[in-house]
Amino acid sequence: MVKRIIARLDIKGPNLVKGIHLEGLRVLGKPELFAKHYYETGADELMYVDVVASLYNRNSLHDIITKTAKEIFIPLTVGGGIRTIDDIRAVLRAGADKVSINTAAIKDPEIIRSASRYFGSSTIVVAIEAIKDQNGKYFAYTDNGREYSGVEVLSWAKRVEELGAGEIVLTSVDREGTGKGFDIDLIKMITASVSIPVIAHGGAGDMQNLMDCLKNGGVSAIALASILHYGFIKNQEVKGDFSSEGNIEFLKNKRLNSNTPDLSIIKIKHYLHSNNIPVRLSIDETGL
């Protein structure tokens, strides 16, 4: 089956941001610019996550979704702060195709059932943010990896499938933003226990990580953030025009060191294709 490469954009106010372990957010630029670039270079889907949704008002997110939906014709999943059926309807109306839910689902799992019945299973993605405890057990966290829920990840994944979720996006908070590789044990544990598609997120640092995850993890897709964003910034003149909100020191100084991998979706897909992992390339590229 063709593996999907999903570009994940964490959004705060009007800006694309990126942290480590979902914390310490840096401003990277305008999400629309990154989204368009990823669309044009072969991303299979986009995922927007409003990382501080509970703290700020969400009008800017809706604007970003609407702008995206008008000119980008690949699936768009939107998450962050979605609590009710009305919230789901609002982001779908703005132009999203799917929504991802974490905190609200843990607080009241029935929202998965009602939402998937109402909007269709394939519209409802459950985000699971996993942290490994000292005993090696994984627990789901809420509020963008900040709050311990006491819910054990494996049983939660099975439960969300039963409740009608169409997909799971599984984040290893321990690896997120570190580039140290995916947590393959976590990923395998989940993909072996559910039959809905699983998207792996968190930890991609180089091509080998991606290969390992797609070859051995049993996932249908991987969501990439840092590895794509820093690759794009590295190859681009960063233009001004940022909102004054947030930490923009990084951008002003363009503090990318030589270790920043020079990767793009095109390079990643060609690498995977040449290693016999099926990915979507245009027909002209594969020579088929």
Partner 1 sequence: MKQDCKREKRVGIIDYQLGNLYSVQHACTFAGLVPEIVSNPLKVNSYDGLILPGVGAFGEAIYNIRRLDLEKPIMDFIASGKPFLGVCLGMQLLFTESEEFGMHKGLNIIPGKVIRFPKRNNMGDLLRIPHIGWSRIFPAQNGMIHFPQDTPFSEIAVGEYMYFVHSYYTVPINPEHSFSITNYEGINYCCSSVRDNVFATQFHPEKSSQKGITIYKNWAKMIH
Which stretches of the chain bind partner 1, using CB under 8 A? 1-2, 4, 39, 44, 69-71, 73-75, 92-97, 117, 119-123, 166-167, 195-197, 220-221, 280, 283, 288
- How would you class 180 by CB atoms within 10 Å of its CB: exposed for 0-12, middle for 13-18, buried for 19 or more? middle
Beta bridge partners of 76: 46
Pick between residue 39 and residue 141 the one whose CB is nearest to partner 1: 39
Of the pair 195, 259, the CB lying nearest partner 1 is at: 195
Q: What is the DSSP string of 6-62?
A: EEEEEEETTEEEEEETTEEEEEEE-HHHHHHHHHHTT-SEEEEEETTTTTS--HHHH
152 is catalytic: no
CA dist 66 and 61 (Å) reads 9
Cβ at position 194, least distance to partner 1 in Å:
9
Query: Which candidate in 44, 45, 87, 129 is catalytic?
Result: 129
Minimum distance of partner 1 from residue 2's CB (angstroms): 5
Of residues 10 and 44, the one with the C-beta less far from partner 1: 44
Quick check: is 284 catalytic?
no
Q: In whole angstroms, how close is the CB of 282 to partner 1 at the nearest point?
A: 8
112 near 143, Cβ under 8 Å?
A: no
Closest approach of Cβ 118 to partner 1, in Å? 8
Name which of 91 and 233 has its Cβ closer to partner 1.
91
Residues taking part in catalysis: 10, 129
